[in-house]
Amino acid sequence: MLPRLNHASPKVAFLGDSITQGWDFPRINFGIRGQTTAQMLARFPRQVAGHGYRQVVILGGTNDTLLGVGQDVTLANLARMVDLARSAGVEPVLAEIPPLYYEDGRLLGQSRLLNARIRGLAAQKEVRLVDYYDALLGHPDAYSDGIHLKRRGYLRMEWALLHADNVF
């Protein structure tokens, strides 16, 4: 297999959970399996601030949803990360979480509800938003287990990211 030549800029950090961790597009990949937005928030200052990043793409909320963390808590954590990024001179970019599927391919509705709130937070904070949800909606075949993505799922995420409103 040939090495990938297409990677994100080293000036863009990606913060998230296992979905981010399993993605080979980010050069600066701060994805950690199983993490909630509270755990991402706890490590945010040491990983993002003061390292010269121009932007940070924040993909959080999947594990919060799966673990039953209240959406108010998830949104507060995401909002705090946006504020910390700005105070560090880093442009925050929020991302909608991908759809979540049962093993039989049926859609779990909670991700749609959280994403509506993430869109609202992005508008309120006036930050860019990447829509991974619509890029993967109706494509349960892009998943290995209804949560984690196969290569074709990550290609859909890359397409959404690269076609977002001038993210890079």
At residue 43 the predicted structure's pLDDT band, cuts being 50, 70 and 90, is: very high
Q: What CA–CA distance (Å, rounded) separates 61 from 72?
A: 11
Tens digits of per-residue pLDDT, 111-157? Answer: 999 999 999 999 999 999 999 999 999 999 999 999 999 999 999 99
User: 3-class SS at 8?
Assistant: coil
Tens digits of per-residue pLDDT, 2-21? Answer: 344 467 889 999 999 999 99
- Mean pLDDT value of segment 47-75: 96
Q: Are strands 100-101 and 107-108 parallel, antiparallel or unpaired?
A: antiparallel
Asked if pLDDT for residue 163 goes beyond 90, the answer is no
> Residue 154: which residues within 8 A CB-CB, separation 6 or more?
22, 23, 24, 25
Q: What CA–CA distance (Å, rounded) separates 114 from 105?
A: 20
Angle between helices 71-87 and 37-48 (to 10 degrees): 10
CATH number of 12-162: 3.40.50.1110
Torsion of CA 130, 110, 125, 55, to 10 degrees: -40
pTM for the whole thing?
0.93
Where are the domains positioned within the chain?
12-162
**Interior/surface letters 117-134, b for 16+ CB within 10 angstroms, e for the rest:** bbeebbeeeebbbbbbbe
Q: What CA–CA distance (Å, rounded) separates 139 from 156?
A: 10
